[in-house]
Structure 1
Amino acid sequence: MTAVISLAKPTSAPTARASGRRYVQRAELALGLPDYKALASLGLSPDPLQQLAAAMSSVRTEDGEKAEAVFDLVPVSERRLARRRRRLMARAARRGPSAYGERLTGGLGGGGFWGTMTSAWSGGAGSTGRSERIPRQADLRDGVGKLEPGAGAVFAVQILLRTEAAHPQLALARMHQLIAALSMTSGENYLKVHRPHSWSIGHFERRFASGEFAPHRRQWLTVPELAGWLKPPTVKCAASSVVRSGGLVPPAPADLPVYTGQRDLIPLGAVVYPDGRERIGAARVQDLLFGLQLGKAGHGKTEEALVQCIAMAHSGYGCWFLDPHGEGWARAKPYLAHPEIADRLWEINLAKTAPDQPVVSWNPLSMEGRTLSDVQDIVRSVTEGIAAAQDWGDNAPRARTILARASQALALLNLQAVQAGHPEAQCTLFQLRTWLTDEDWREQLLPKLPDRVRAYWETTFPKLGPDAVPTVTYAIDRLDTSQSLQGFFGSPRSAYDVRHAMDTSKVVFVCPSGSESDALVSCLLIHDLHRAGLSRQDTPREQRNTFWAWGDELTALDSSSKGFLAAIAEQLRKYEVRFIGMTQMALRLSAITRQALLQNQSWLSTCAADYDEAAFVAKRWNGHVSPETITELPKYHYVMSVNLNGGRTTPFRVRGLPVDEVFAHYDNPAGVPALDQAIDTNLNRRPLSDILADLEVLDSTVLAHHTGRRPGGTNAGDPTSVID
């Protein structure tokens, strides 16, 4: 059996300097005193490997330097060990008893061992009548030394050191460092250096390379003498050359599915299976209802989500990916540029603002394809979305009421326009501001509303303070500062319809503009996702297509509107919507959201995190993983647990895989232009300049449709006529 300690940095490719002449130093360490005398027993603090690792860390492997220490161990059989003890006892008997370096005399005509034993047997009186000194029982044990019967396992040991460098003095310096590191074993015994003669170098090299066991002299060592060198480095070993294991994490389940592209599996990352081989582990689609990914920024959460989204898209599932920064979409695009996906792909990219840039529009107040019963859901979605982004909470009841009432009025007007066959006359979010600030425009449209709705605006609204309206219109004013958001929210007709995407398995990437209105856009989108998911109640369960949704930056979404993210986790799984959330800090989520996410998650994953966050996650795993293990995870490595076969697995370690490694066979950058054309067709994208031009006159279009008049009191067909 051979144990090799090699703590040097990994050998790099040889440089020009390393390819020249090499100088080698060789040494063998052997016990300087008889082997029954013990070396020092090395504890764990300080770690015995600290000095050796420090010596190794100074080796410049990039220059071709090497430093190696090899321990060859051969177990000593119990028979050989017993024979050795008998010889040591016999030698101790010949020397006679001693105590503290003083030799003791014995009886029986000259004493000695047998005389001493006889004297002890007779009570101390020998045949000569002289009183003898009785030896201590420890005398024989001292003669056996560390090889006493209770010593445990014993090994014959061969210790070889070898260094190599481009200069003889460097090789010698590295050798001295190794010898100094190993000299800390000196105790009752010590290790002596033996350098091979020129004629025995070949023999040394053969032993070093092959493990041939032929030590300089017999040296038997016990486990306490060896354990300090053969154990892994502990936390007390702080040398930079030590490769850390990352802490104790349970192994992956033996029956964890292996992903090779199956439709019913979702990839998790590279997992080491019980046979020692690394494969792509996966969770079953039927087991994964809701997931939560935690950890530091830049440690791979988005990349992991992209791998899963691309896998599900190619498997035919509908996907929705909220990518606040747009970088994920740019990375995923070449891997989705395939004919079988192109007609299902939607891109909502709000960072594009060129006048001729084709853009898609979404009207959250649109009533196309909806009925009167859908009005309340539309109102709630818009109200809660804007309230969340504005952080109103419970401190702005008037603003919430005004916004809800205004949204209700415009939704009812839009329903009438759609029923009349004029969806282009629908109001958008920007008409909320017109409704609240342009009294003449509102007064002309009020007769078109039901009496109960009209009564609020005629009796209650005029009594509210003037400071209530600006609180509501502030959100619309923020949207109006961005041309990309004007194009997205400014068209009466929606091409973006997440319910339609769910039912037809569309692949949707949503990238906000990167402006200060990101929170408002994201909140409106996430609330609309919840509304659309609940609306699937009208579809039989077996006819609902499974729809995957990924939401990044959950903390930004979970503002004052406490309940919608929790409702998504609690309710949407019933309607075949699988949501996976990502956030850096779970502790910053509201309590109700955090509890719902953790209560209902069937997949919990974390990369490296701050200690407080790590302790919070580790607590969910009942001590299987320590917070320190989580804080020290390397970049792109995770610890996760999933639902498997009806139960929750213990946490296991996963190495994140980049998109280009898992789906290299899907990479098709040449197909991106064709994909852009397909997206234009899928979403009926229009030039931004056309949408902005229509938005300028939309107030007049709405008023003309419902009243036949235009702002300013003129008839739609006669600009000079005046309303009585």
Structure 2
Amino acid sequence: MSLIDLTKPHPSPTAAAPQYTERAELVLALPDAKPLASLGLNPDPLQSLAAALAGVRSEAGEQAEMCLDLIPVSERRLARRRRALLAAARRRGPSAYGERLTTGSTAGLGAGLMDALTSDWNGNRSARTTNRVPRQSDVRDSVGKFTPGGTVFAVQLLLRTTARHPQAAHARMNQLLAALATTSGENYFRPRRPKARRAIARFDHRMATGEFAPHRRQWLTTPELAGFLKPPTTRCSGSNIVRSGGIVPPAPANLPVYTGQPDLVPLGAVVYPDGVERIGAARVEDLLFALLLGKSGHGKTEEALVQAIALAHNGHGVWFLDPHGEAWVRAQPYLAHPHLQDRVWEINLATPTPDQRVVSWNPLSMEGRDATHVQEVVRAVTEGIAAAQDWGDRAPRARTILARTVQALALIALQAVDAGRPDLQPTVFQIRSWLTDDRWREALLPHLPPTVRKYWTTTFPKLAENAVPTVTYAIDRLDTSISLRAFFGSPRSGYDVRTAMDTGKIVFVCPSGSESDALVSCLLIHDLHRAGLSRQDTPRADRKTFWSWGDELTALDSSSKGFLAAIAEQLRKYEVRFIGMTQMALRLSATTRQALLQNQSLLATCAADYDEAAFVARRWNGHVTAETITELPKYHYLMSIALDGRPTKPFRVRGLPVDEIFAKYYNPDGLPALRQAIDTNTRRRVVGEVLDALETLDDDIRELFTAPPAPPSGGGAGGRGDDQHTHLG
């Protein structure tokens, strides 16, 4: 039986290229009772062999093979061998033992020695008691390495090298022989090279079939062979070593298998206890928050996309914050299906062309709201901008001015909606107009409640002038970007995350290319948190589960100022789930990291730096080592999940790409229809139209509130012509 076949594969050489082969069978140079060296683990005996094989140039047609065939030797054959060795020791006389055992004749000495040495093996208790019992060292000297209690194998060791030049084949053979010279001890291997054609044919037949026909008897014990029968250790540093990847617990036997069930979330390919690879899954009810860690380009985003697409097709609401827009490009063909089109939203903040259609979001919009919602708008906008500016407790005046400004503009927006002119609601850019244009503000103040108006007429003029630039700084940053002016500059919103939650929309948000990514990300994350908390007005049974993903979590954390932690801590009860992906958990703020790890029900990592790997390994209580994590192949993960109310031990997962697991969903021909559906779903408008309207929005709002009432006309509300304006006196 061939137990080891160390071969370096190579491409088949061309038929015209000559091949030269060196062959050698290694046999013991001395009697097999004398042992080879017992090789330990440090250094690894396979290191020299790996180094010899690493030098084989497979691209040049070279090949090196080592075949070690073993057959266990029965105890009966071993006993016969021991008796033969003892008989040979008797013939050698007393000098073989270093001292005389008895003073009798030579024959009596031999008989007494033989009886004493074999009495224990034969169970003969009638051995002569008058003779002195030999020392144990004498027994070892007689039988050599074949002392009772060990396992012995009959060995056949064949070497063969092939190259396109005879000297190259000879050199490779010498390298193998040098690598095996480390086994030399009391005994050593001697190469026997077949030369005759028949001997060569016989050698090749044994190499090909494993036929056991060694040149002579050579029996080896386990200590002599162990160094070549074990896997390479960490001390074997050869670059051509295939690693096992370290010790990792097996996957749970009760891990669900994903075949498209709506109540399961796919994880990737998992080898189950029966040895079969299947798509493992987590249950929707068990997966609340998750953290995906590891190096860039190792599949974290792909893993998240697989989960998002699966949940989207099964009717779940999805919100995917994709900072670079690459995930959305990859996901589109798998979402371009008629049954999904009315649910898909795309918010892309990459720099647009003037004729491109974009989605807009007005955080101050009061459409679908009443006066009781003004405080929610004030809180959302104020906290979002304050967090993005990292004011904390250092700018109480700026925070107060901002809150009062948003309150006034929200009340103005509410009146515009009531008048049938939602297209004339203030946007975030009117915050700057309200604070810096005194005439515009004074023209609108009479339309505010007295308590609100009093602040602006008595308190605001007394505040220091340097408080206003602190507030308008954020707006000035937004104003420098065409994409952000288009996104925030329309009075009517096409994006409303609370609506997306309640109706199961599929939302991809791509803030790539904007000059104020941190500010935008903070506003979006805060809005997600606010919308989740606002679901307390909906009975628990009526809250649809909403899944959200955040890529590049480290950047999001630095800009969101604690809202990621708040999401992980507070939104579970409102059926909002969050999954974050980041390269370095140690770069997350302590608050966010602790909140995510405390509440996570899925923790996964691909290959990582040692410090990151050690951090994750500690979370798994030593079930895996940091070295195991650092050596993970690309697109492979270690993962633990919550299963049946308990966390599992980490197990291996092979990441599956979207195009493999969802090949049946791939529909690039449906992309034009999908884009048209998104235009309708999100009321996308042409960029040039939004920017032109924003330039005159201040004047249009003032005209709506200050011009005398127009005579009644049949025009519907919401038009842009002068004859359709509804004026507020």
Q: Name the residue aligned to 2:17.
A: 20
Q: In the alignment, which of 173, 178, 181 is matched to residue 176 of structure 2? A: 178
Supply the distance in 2 between the matched residues of 1:651 and 1:176 (Cα, whole angstroms).
45
Distance 1:436 1:372, change over 3 A: same
TM-score normalised per structure 2: 0.91
Which shows bigger deviation, 543-552 or 442-451?
442-451
Supply the distance in 2 between the matched residues of 1:276 and 1:639 (Cα, whole angstroms).
18
| Matched-pair contact (CA < 8 Å) for 2:522–2:559 | no
Q: Report how far residue 703 of structure 1 moved.
A: 2.0
Q: Name the residue aligned to 1:160.
A: 158
Which shows bigger deviation, 395-404 or 280-289?
395-404
Distance 1:199 1:560, change over 3 A: closer
Structure 1 residue 331 and structure 2 residue 330: aligned? yes
The amino acid across from 2:53 in the alignment is M
Structure 1 residue 54 and structure 2 residue 51: aligned? yes
Unaligned 5+ segments in structure 1 are 122-131, 711-715, 719-724
SS of equivalent to 2:406: helix
Per-residue Cα deviation, 1:664-710 (whole angstroms, up to 9, x for no partner): 22222222222212211222211100000110111112222233389
Q: Name the residue aligned to 1:378.
A: 377
Supply the distance in 1 between the matched residues of 2:135 and 2:50 (Cα, whole angstroms).
44
Supply the distance in 2 between the matched residues of 1:71 and 1:297 (Cα, whole angstroms).
43
Per-residue Cα deviation, 1:584-638 (whole angstroms, up to 9, x for no partner): 2222222221111111111111112222222221111111111222222222221
The amino acid across from 1:70 in the alignment is C
Q: Report how far residue 89 of structure 1 moved.
A: 1.8
SS of equivalent to 1:527: helix
RMSD after superposition: 2.6
Question: Which structure 2 residues correspond to residues 594-613 of structure 1 after superposition, within 5 A?
Answer: 594-613=593-612
Per-residue Cα deviation, 1:288-334 (whole angstroms, up to 9, x for no partner): 11111112222211111111111111222111111100111111111
Unaligned 5+ segments in structure 2 are 118-130, 710-720, 724-729
Aligned residues: 699
The amino acid across from 1:6 in the alignment is L
Structure 1 residue 497 and structure 2 residue 493: aligned? no
SS of equivalent to 2:145: helix
The amino acid across from 1:320 in the alignment is W
Q: Name the residue aligned to 2:544.
A: 545
| Matched-pair contact (CA < 8 Å) for 1:6–1:69 | yes
| Matched-pair contact (CA < 8 Å) for 1:326–1:511 | yes
Supply the distance in 2 between the matched residues of 1:300 and 1:183 (Cα, whole angstroms).
45
The amino acid across from 2:552 in the alignment is E
Question: Which structure 2 residues correspond to residues 546-565 of structure 1 after superposition, within 5 A?
Answer: 546-559=545-558, 562-565=561-564
Supply the distance in 1 between the matched residues of 2:615 and 2:392 (Cα, whole angstroms).
26
Question: Which structure 2 residues correspond to residues 161-310 of structure 1 after superposition, within 5 A?
Answer: 161-196=159-194, 197-310=196-309
Which shows bigger deviation, 624-633 or 473-482?
624-633
The amino acid across from 2:189 in the alignment is L
Supply the distance in 1 between the matched residues of 2:722 and 2:633 (Cα, whole angstroms).
70
The amino acid across from 2:193 in the alignment is R
Supply the distance in 2 between the matched residues of 1:567 and 1:340 (Cα, whole angstroms).
34
Q: Name the residue aligned to 1:124.
A: none
Structure 1 residue 6 and structure 2 residue 3: aligned? no
Supply the distance in 1 between the matched residues of 2:136 and 2:95 (Cα, whole angstroms).
11
Q: Name the residue aligned to 1:700.
A: 699
Supply the distance in 1 between the matched residues of 2:495 and 2:368 (Cα, whole angstroms).
13
Supply the distance in 2 between the matched residues of 1:200 and 1:157 (Cα, whole angstroms).
19
Distance 1:133 1:531, change over 3 A: closer
| Matched-pair contact (CA < 8 Å) for 1:393–1:560 | no
Supply the distance in 2 between the matched residues of 1:381 and 1:99 (Cα, whole angstroms).
97
The amino acid across from 1:695 in the alignment is L
| Matched-pair contact (CA < 8 Å) for 1:291–1:601 | yes
Structure 1 residue 397 and structure 2 residue 393: aligned? no
SS of equivalent to 1:369: coil
Q: Name the residue aligned to 1:39.
A: 36
SS of equivalent to 1:147: coil
TM-score normalised per structure 1: 0.92
Distance 1:266 1:137, change over 3 A: closer
SS of equivalent to 2:672: helix
| Matched-pair contact (CA < 8 Å) for 1:75–1:154 | yes
Supply the distance in 1 between the matched residues of 2:311 and 2:688 (Cα, whole angstroms).
35
Q: Name the residue aligned to 1:128.
A: none
Structure 1 residue 87 and structure 2 residue 81: aligned? no
Q: Report how far residue 491 of structure 1 moved.
A: 0.3
Q: Report how far residue 154 of structure 1 moved.
A: 1.5
| Matched-pair contact (CA < 8 Å) for 2:101–2:134 | no
Q: In the alignment, which of 62, 86, 103 is matched to residue 107 of structure 1? A: 103
Q: In the alignment, which of 74, 78, 81 is matched to residue 75 of structure 2? A: 78
Q: Name the residue aligned to 1:129.
A: none
The amino acid across from 1:85 in the alignment is R
Matched residues, percent identical?
Answer: 71
Q: Name the residue aligned to 1:682.
A: 681
| Matched-pair contact (CA < 8 Å) for 1:387–1:561 | no
The amino acid across from 1:157 in the alignment is V
Distance 1:456 1:274, change over 3 A: same
Q: Report how far residue 465 of structure 1 moved.
A: 2.0
Per-residue Cα deviation, 1:117-157 (whole angstroms, up to 9, x for no partner): 59999xxxxxxxxxx9996441122111111114x222111
Which shows bigger deviation, 567-576 or 438-447?
438-447
SS of equivalent to 2:571: helix
Q: Name the residue aligned to 1:662.
A: 661
Distance 1:117 1:247, change over 3 A: closer
Supply the distance in 2 between the matched residues of 1:164 and 1:441 (Cα, whole angstroms).
90
Q: Report how far residue 402 of structure 1 moved.
A: 2.4
Distance 1:698 1:141, change over 3 A: same
Supply the distance in 2 between the matched residues of 1:42 and 1:394 (Cα, whole angstroms).
68
| Matched-pair contact (CA < 8 Å) for 2:45–2:228 | yes
Which shows bigger deviation, 85-94 or 516-525?
85-94
| Matched-pair contact (CA < 8 Å) for 1:94–1:113 | no
Q: Name the residue aligned to 2:62.
A: 65
SS of equivalent to 2:674: helix
